[in-house]
Amino acid sequence: MDTIAAISTPYGVGGIAVVRVSGEEAIETVERLTGSLGSAKPYSVRHAYLRRGDEVLDEVLVTVFRAPHSYTGEDVVEIACHGSLYIQQEVLRWLTDAGCRTARAGEFTERAFMNGKMDLTQAEAVADLIAAETRAEKDLAMSQLRGKVSTELNELRERLLHFTSLIELELDFADHEELEFADRSELRALSHEIETRLSALIASFRTGNAIRNGIPVAIIGAPNVGKSTLLNALLGEQRAIVSDIQGTTRDTVEDTLILDGILFRLIDTAGLRETHDTLENLGIERSLAAADKAQIILSVTEMGKETVNYQPKEGQQLIKIYNKVDLLMPDERMNLIDGLCISAKHGVIEQVKNKLVQIVRASLNTGGVVLSNQRHYEAICRAHEAIQRVEQGLEDGLSGELLSMDLQDCLTALGEVTGQISSQEVLNNIFSKFCIGK
């Protein structure tokens, strides 16, 4: 294996920059430029000068990690130099002059995966962690990095593997048809359990994916109830036009909002009513389309006005909101107990914010694992289909041979998620999206 080197801090001038070196020659190579590191205690930081002959490049701090106790599992040296662009690039050049090769994107993490320091879901979590822009995104990546997804899948896979080998054993004794090493009722129970857990994971992707892209929230209701005013109040800016003319909002207006570390995509829509205005009707169509795609629906109404009857789709949450309560007498408010009472115009909307956060937190705190990666989602859907075929096969009294094919399909799909089974193409695809130096 080559010894690789890269600047791990972002391109640009900073207080310091970190140049990372990994591989068999890492310590020796840096030693040649700084003097002895051999006496450095592991995990200690050493002060040194980078020098070649008479030339002193920089005053640096050098951290030595010895294999296998390092990020990559190889010998690793991290050089913290001054963050001048010239110095950073010279440090890298000196290292390549001394025999290192510049690292490809993600190559440090790829080595960590190859050396068994982490599985594929964890390696992917490293990229997600670096890309995280909100706390919820960071939390998801962190839980994946700590192995939550892999632990869940490995456990299911182990147990399924046990049964598959018993069934394959039966196939070896095909002459004795009556032999059944794998207890069918136990296999049925296990398949059912796996099916349920995979379904839950698949369902969690809706939230996991939304956390990364923003949870879509559609504001719907009759014209003039204050939808646009609510959007503006939530955003804290005049984003949508507000007026007392019905049908002011004709197209959907969208903007993002971060509440308690969660990214929401708020979508204000045209008021829903019967109209012959072609443009307005187009707007209404878009409103309904936006509502269908949303994960949370804020259904706004005001007392005395009709409520739009929107039937939430599967997985959607509907929050009923009464606006303009400032116009009501206290005893009139008492009757509005089936929704949140707000006054968008006067900024009395805290309840809406709290409810939004509460809904998302509840869907994250189901104790289970939340999927957020498209690749994992697709593989788990395949595993789920396979285990459903196993269940059906058991129901139909299918032969061990046919059962074992579906079991294998399920095992393969699960193994692909964690990287127990992986192709170079998949790995290239994953690691090429990393930053250089990680």
Ligand X SMILES: Nc1nc2c(ncn2[C@@H]2O[C@H](COP(=O)(O)OP(=O)(O)O)[C@@H](O)[C@H]2O)c(=O)[nH]1
Q: Which residues bind ligand X (CB under 6 A)?
A: 221, 223-229, 242-244, 248-249, 271, 323-324, 326-327, 343-346
- Cα 376 versus chain centre, distance: 10
| 210-229 footprint of Mg ion as x/- string (CB under 5 A) | -----------------xx-
Minimum CB separation from ligand X for residue 349, in Å? 9
Minimum CB separation from Mg ion for residue 242, in Å? 7
In terms of Cα–Cα distance, which of 364, 370, 379, 367 is closest to 418?
379
**Cβ-based nearer residue to ligand X, 243 or 429:** 243
**Cβ-based nearer residue to ligand X, 146 or 346:** 346
Minimum CB separation from ligand X for residue 237, in Å? 14
**Cβ-based nearer residue to Mg ion, 56 or 241:** 241
**Cβ-based nearer residue to ligand X, 324 or 384:** 324
- Half-sphere exposure of residue 84, counting CA atoms within 13 Å on the CB side? 9
Minimum CB separation from Mg ion for residue 241, in Å? 7
**Cβ-based nearer residue to ligand X, 138 or 353:** 353
Minimum CB separation from ligand X for residue 308, in Å? 11
**Cβ-based nearer residue to ligand X, 301 or 363:** 301
What does 324 interact with, of ligand X, Mg ion, none (CB < 5 to 8 A by kind)? Answer: ligand X
Element (H, E) at 113: helix 107-114
Q: Work out whether strand 317-323 and strand 45-52 pair parallel, antiparallel, or are unpaired.
A: unpaired
What does 344 interact with, of ligand X, Mg ion, none (CB < 5 to 8 A by kind)? Answer: ligand X
**Cβ-based nearer residue to ligand X, 9 or 224:** 224
Q: Is 8 in the site for Mg ion (CB under 5 A)?
A: no
In terms of Cα–Cα distance, which of 95, 59, 80 is closest to 8?
80
Q: How many residues bind Mg ion (CB under 5 A)?
A: 3
What does 3 interact with, of ligand X, Mg ion, none (CB < 5 to 8 A by kind)? Answer: none
Minimum CB separation from ligand X for residue 342, in Å? 7
As to burial, measured by CB atoms within 10 angstroms (0-12 exposed, 13-18 middle, 19+ buried), residue 353 is middle
**Cβ-based nearer residue to Mg ion, 197 or 227:** 227
What does 282 interact with, of Mg ion, ligand X, none (CB < 5 to 8 A by kind)? Answer: none
Question: What single-letter DSSP state applies at residue 103?
Answer: P
As beta bridge partners, residue 317 has: 296
* Residues 391/392/396/397 CA torsion (nearest 10 deg): -30
What does 327 interact with, of ligand X, Mg ion, none (CB < 5 to 8 A by kind)? Answer: ligand X
What does 226 interact with, of ligand X, Mg ion, none (CB < 5 to 8 A by kind)? Answer: ligand X
Phi, psi torsion values for 189, nearest 5 degrees: -65, -45
Residue 296 and residue 273 in contact, taking contact as beta carbons nearer than 8 Å: no
Helix, strand, coil shares of the chain as percentages rounded to 5?
A: 45, 20, 35
Q: Coil, strand, or helix at residue 240?
A: coil
What does 223 interact with, of ligand X, Mg ion, none (CB < 5 to 8 A by kind)? Answer: ligand X
Beta carbons within 8 Å of 36's beta carbon, 6+ residues apart = none
Q: Coil, strand, or helix at residue 300?
A: strand
Minimum CB separation from ligand X for residue 76, in Å? 57
Minimum CB separation from ligand X for residue 45, in Å? 59
- The residues in 232-271 that bind Mg ion, with binding defined as CB under 5 A, are 249
Minimum CB separation from ligand X for residue 336, in Å? 13
Phi, psi torsion values for 155, nearest 5 degrees: -65, -45
**Cβ-based nearer residue to Mg ion, 22 or 228:** 228
Q: Where do the DSSP E strands lie in 66-156?
A: 76-82, 101-102
Question: Whole-angstrom Cα distance, residue 203 to residue 191?
Answer: 18
Residues forming the site for Mg ion (CB under 5 A): 227-228, 249
